Structure 1
């Protein structure tokens, strides 16, 4: 187990190194740079001043050399300075990461619980009424655009019923724990519903396949109860293919919740990366994308470890 984890961590570091160069190169190829933005706000700058600024920031050097200087500084914990926020990158990244973690964990747990409950209920009687209702809900969740779902949530629960605030993370003058939870309800629900349909389809398909296997028929022949068959004999085996999908979705939530964060004015990782790219804030965009890559790699590692726990026959 230890050798496997160390080997996978080594592979993850290699992938992270390669991705850092790829992302750095792609960002470097984008039109414009921080100096161009500065010139746009100060059109009277002379070519000599522009050349001097490029030399100060190292933008007159080859991209390989610039990448090497960035990598050496990053390995020492210095990820640069955010131009748009006028702060070190890590100080800007921290609050956005914390907000995304709250949204992600809450929505992920809610969507997983709903998906397993609905998927198992649908798989017990394929083609029945419950299966048709669950399938309709799942297809609706997959098909409905996230921005439309967010707008409906705001219109119904914020504008019409006044149950929850429409946006933000706290009410001015309040900022208490209950107030903070009220601001999380709608974005968490939107993210959860957007993922539940996708997860439910996989849980249903895996459970139907598992319930038809020989060991389940043998358990029924021995007189095992339906609850024991589902929870002990079927669900654990059905989780193996589902874990892969959930692990990949877990990683993408760190940078892929841009629409939800924008609609509900949540200052998370997705919106931060998007704003950094639009504002030519290269250091912040690069660090945010690399962190999203790291989370995806760690999610895959957790999924591999979960395989061995779910099925001891799987060798790490």
Structure 2
């Protein structure tokens, strides 16, 4: 197991290098000039060139890249061009909000997908299966931003049940207030991959019910409910672990959209603010940080899969 983890960590080095190069090239190719954030109407050309020199933007692109990656390796992701705060401090400040939202969405999605997928697979071609399939197709087809606006209009504007924006109500510090603010964004983010999980668990359940061990359990007098939740569930959940790792990218993308619509103070909304303000250090820092989290998430999924299934043996 130790060799497997070391080998996977070493494989992340060229991947992160490629991501950093691609991100740096895209930011450099984007329209606009970061120096314009510091320019005032009465500023002379010499002052503008001095700012460009202080930011290191007068050097060749490859030199700028190596200087940036050198600072990143030392833990310095640069400073924001808008508020002049360290990028890493801003990311870490907003990380708990994003992690809480993503963790709640994953838990909600998995807890709903398992019973729905098992129920649909065990009642293939019946009204339960058709109903779950219909909900899954709707969840796959609806864009997240449209669903977010729809839920916000229904539960916040019309019914006044839940708050529509932010993470806290001004003057309130209770946990229940945070939970109420997080219900809508968590539901929207969970719907982004709940439908995929339901379809996957349903198809796995149908294939597992055709296996020989199921027929043997029926021969021993086991009930369908016992077979489904005691035997089939174990085989169905193993691939879901890998599916969690593969869906981390969609989860991060969905978090950016969800946080922007609901004004959730997380990394996603910080990134959108940086894009609108052409704050290139923040964009680069968030992209690199998100890539590291995605790679570590996939690594954790592979490790959990190998621990959950004793038949998997890691080799040299």
- Normalising by the residue count of structure 1, what TM-score does the alignment of the two structures yield? 0.93
Partners in 2 of 1:77 and 1:265 — Cα distance? Answer: 28
139-148 or 253-262: which moved more?
Answer: 253-262
Select the residue among 137, 140, 145 that pairs with 2:138. 140
Q: What is the match of residue 87 of structure 2? A: 89
Give RMSD over aligned pairs: 1.8
Aligned to 2:17: 17
Output one character per residue of 1:233-275: Cα deviation in whole Å (capped at 9) or x when no partner.
Answer: 3222223333333222234423432222122111222222222
1:298, CA displacement in angstroms?
A: 1.4
Kept in 1, the 8 Å contact 2:37–2:81? The answer is: no
185, 188, 191: which is aligned to 1:187?
185
Alpha carbons 1:251, 1:292 under 8 Å: kept: no
CA–CA separation in structure 2 for the residues paired with 1:268 and 1:109? 19
Matched, 1:196 2:171: no
Conserved in 2, the CA contact under 8 Å of 1:165 and 1:183? Answer: yes
Please show how residues 1-316 of structure 1 align to structure 2 within 5 Å.
Answer: 1-39=1-39, 42-316=40-314
Q: Deviations over 1:69-127 (max 9, x none)?
A: 11222222111101123211112112321111111111110011100110000000210
Are residues 196 and 255 of structure 1, via their aligned partners in 2, closer, same or farther at CA, if it must alter by over 3 Å?
Answer: closer
Are residues 215 and 306 of structure 1, via their aligned partners in 2, closer, same or farther at CA, if it must alter by over 3 Å? Answer: farther
Q: Any idea what the Cα deviations from partners look like across 1:174-196, whole Å, max 9, x if unmatched?
A: 23222121111111122223321
Question: Following TM superposition, by how much is the alpha carbon of 1:142 offset from its aligned partner in structure 2, in angstroms?
Answer: 1.2
Alpha-carbon distance in 1 for matches of 2:132, 2:273: 38
Q: Gapped runs of 5+ residues in structure 2?
A: none
Distance 1:45 1:255 in 2: 40
Q: Deviations over 1:136-195 (max 9, x none)?
A: 111111112222222222222212222211111111122322212111111112222332
Q: Which range moved further: 110-119 or 18-27?
A: 18-27
Q: TM-score scaled to structure 2, two decimals? A: 0.93
More displaced 10-residue stretch of structure 1: 252-261 or 115-124? 252-261
d(CA) in 1 for partners of 2:253, 2:80: 18
After alignment, is 203-212 or 213-222 more displaced?
213-222
Task: Give the Cα–Cα distance (whole angstroms) in 2 for the partners of residues 219 and 155 of structure 1.
Answer: 50
Bigger Cα displacement from structure 2, 238-247 vs 186-195: 238-247
Q: Distance in 1 between matches of 2:211 and 2:305?
A: 19
Provide the rounded CA distance (Å) in 2 between the counterparts of 1:32 and 1:152.
35
Aligned partners of 2:14, 2:146: CA distance in 1, in Å? Answer: 40
For structure 1, the 5+ residue unaligned runs are none
Residues 37 and 82 in structure 2, CA contact (< 8 A), matched pair in contact too: no
